[in-house]
Structure 1
């Protein structure tokens, strides 16, 4: 069994629905001891960086995000060197948006991803159906483009992590009794106008939410400890009304594609 260790690294990207502010609510619901750690929607990785589990599989369907994690894990100094050379400039930002980044190395993907995340509007990562990043330039005076010390801390934390481009369902193939899985999917929207699932070109709708519920139920039946986060939308209560414990917690959302989508809201922690 692996005991939880206190974290020192911080998420290196801003992420819609990031969990840093909810760590005090999540940690008491994490098993104090577990074997493997699995996070199939890794996003900003706040819980991973806080817990620093020794045997972790981090995965996501956003291949650029996965390659960013790999670039930091495998060659953080090269990422730091590239990021340090990038100016905070609108023209450079617009030029970076047009780069055929998928043909580049993991190091170049990581620097590209972090740069656009730090200088784009409101920290969003959003793509259209053609997987083209389409966030406008952000209104920042002096954003921190390269936090070298934190990137190095993240690289140390990721040193032994297995980082995969995979769907959330694939956790069924690797999670074993005694493991712990944390799901932080794109949320069920609180209203029709608040939906935002464009982290990948495919989106994440109610069919995927129902499949996620079924995967969580199957894992629990196998003796795998499960924790999920989602919105407090009525559909989420309906999805998890049988066989799950639900706790409502307050969260402040500072990253949203609409200004009126930011502020204090209620979220659910499910296990």
Structure 2
């Protein structure tokens, strides 16, 4: 599909989902940390894509291990009119919410699956995407007055930004092997827990364990050895600092909105690791 000029978009593209660990609020602190020049852009934990939409790279590879999320990106890129048509039929109603929640994504078309995810994300409690061990979305209804289920302007801008972008259901191991010298890889994995009670890795059915953090650090070093530019976000813990002690580490501060306890949504420190 030919690339469409971004100038046609009525608005600048931004995240179309609310996502745990989303980086929208950190972009101001991240801006001076991004490399000034790079070739291709890789983001193997794309999530809501705030960094991708901010940078607007000309050549990009986006991936994640969440099949619903990747289906959303692919449908917005390739089948936006059909997606908008389905979303227009969705309504903010408690009974309808639970009906949609109980639908089996495996029984839905790609467009229906993407619409389901966007709808549930916009209308569920606290905008939290969480699945159980069987991969079933289990967040209760959110009692909002008038949630914006269909943000048509942003979806058009997102679709435009995604033209020509490679979007795949892949693990970080598979993605980083494609990177070459001069490419920029942004790694935003599920964070290492800062305490035994704060482990929030509800991006999918599988937890991201300490061994996975160690594997990711090894991948970081391989990318560094290739001559890639690598940037990683994670929690500010001794474990993470030790994993990346040979690299530049900057501290940023973030106020987390996704927490069941409103009193615990205060500012916390995070680290940004770079090899440049």
TM superposition score category, shorter chain reference: over 0.9
The runs of at least 4 aligned residues of structure 1 exceeding 6 Å deviation read none
Deviation at 1:33, TM superposition (A): 1.4
Report the secondary structure of 2:79's partner residue.
helix
Map of 1:30 onto structure 2: 34
Map of 2:117 onto structure 1: 113
> Among 250, 263, 266, which residue is 1:263 paired with?
266
Cα distance between partner residues in 2 of 1:31 and 1:136: 40
Map of 1:132 onto structure 2: 136
Cα distance between partner residues in 1 of 2:43 and 2:131: 22
Deviates more, 1:109-118 or 1:5-14: 5-14
**Is there any run of 5+ residues in structure 2 with no aligned partner, and where?**
1-5
Deviation at 1:264, TM superposition (A): 1.1
Deviation at 1:186, TM superposition (A): 0.6
Cα distance between partner residues in 2 of 1:18 and 1:198: 13
Cα distance between partner residues in 1 of 2:83 and 2:261: 31
Cα distance between partner residues in 1 of 2:167 and 2:79: 14
Q: Number of residues paired by the alignment?
A: 266
After TM superposition, the score normalised by the length of structure 2 is 0.93
| RMSD, aligned α-carbons | 1.5
> Among 152, 174, 179, which residue is 1:170 paired with?
174
Determine whether 1:143 maps to 2:147: yes
Report the secondary structure of 1:250's partner residue.
strand
Report the secondary structure of 1:34's partner residue.
coil
Deviation at 1:198, TM superposition (A): 2.3
Q: How does 1:178-257 map to 2 (within 5 A)?
A: 178-241=182-245, 243-257=246-260
Map of 1:95 onto structure 2: 99
Determine whether 1:12 maps to 2:34: no
Report the secondary structure of 1:96's partner residue.
helix
Summarize the Cα distance change of 1:68–1:30 in structure 2 as closer, same or farther, 3 Å threshold: same
